[in-house]
Amino acid sequence: MFPGCYAGRWPHIHFEVFPSLDAATDVANAIATSQIAIPQAICEEIYGATSGYEQSTPNLSQLSLETDGVFGEDAAALQLGTITGTPGDGLAIRLDVPVSATPAPASEGGGGAPPAGGPAGPGGPGGPPAGGAPG
């Protein structure tokens, strides 16, 4: 599984952090919600070599981390993951994220449900990929 690139959004993966495995059964227990930006080089490699990502290549060519609606504020300085492995043997992504053990109040962007939709409309953060592309 590898995220596709849809119009207006840099390839990314959503994640949530919970204080324990038992707490992960209810989204209300999330103490952090964020996204990991996927490095451009691996996106280009996957999209160029894998069937089903035909629209991802032109979508990616029209974007940068600076123009993304979510990562653009700091060009994903704190959200760009590091990829290890190979497409043939499997990939892993890593992002070190400092997290407090207790959720911040909602007004401070703490845990809870991730946002639905986003600046790109359908297929934006939390939505399905546009055109049913893999993701």
Cβ atoms within 10 Å, residue 112: 17
CA 61 – CA 40 distance, rounded (Å): 10
Residue 90 has a pLDDT of: 93
What pTM was estimated for this model as a whole?
Answer: 0.71
Q: Kindly report the CA angle at 52 between 116 and 81, in degrees rounded to 5?
A: 55
pLDDT at 98: 87
Task: List, in order, residues 6 or more apart from 27 with CB less than 8 Å away.
Answer: 16, 112, 113
The residue written with tokens 């300085």 in the block is: 77
Spatial distance between the Cα atoms of 53 and 38, rounded to a whole number of angstroms? 15
> How far is it, in rounded angstroms, from Cα 72 to Cα 66?
4
Cα 70 to Cα 63: distance, rounded to the nearest angstrom: 12
State the average pLDDT for the chain: 80
Name the nearest CA neighbour of 72 among 42, 110, 116, 37: 37
pLDDT above 60 (res 111)? no
β-partners of residue 94 are 82
pLDDT, mean of residues 64-84: 92
- Of residues 66 and 128, more confidently modeled: 66
Taking 50 as the threshold, does the pLDDT of residue 50 lie above it? yes
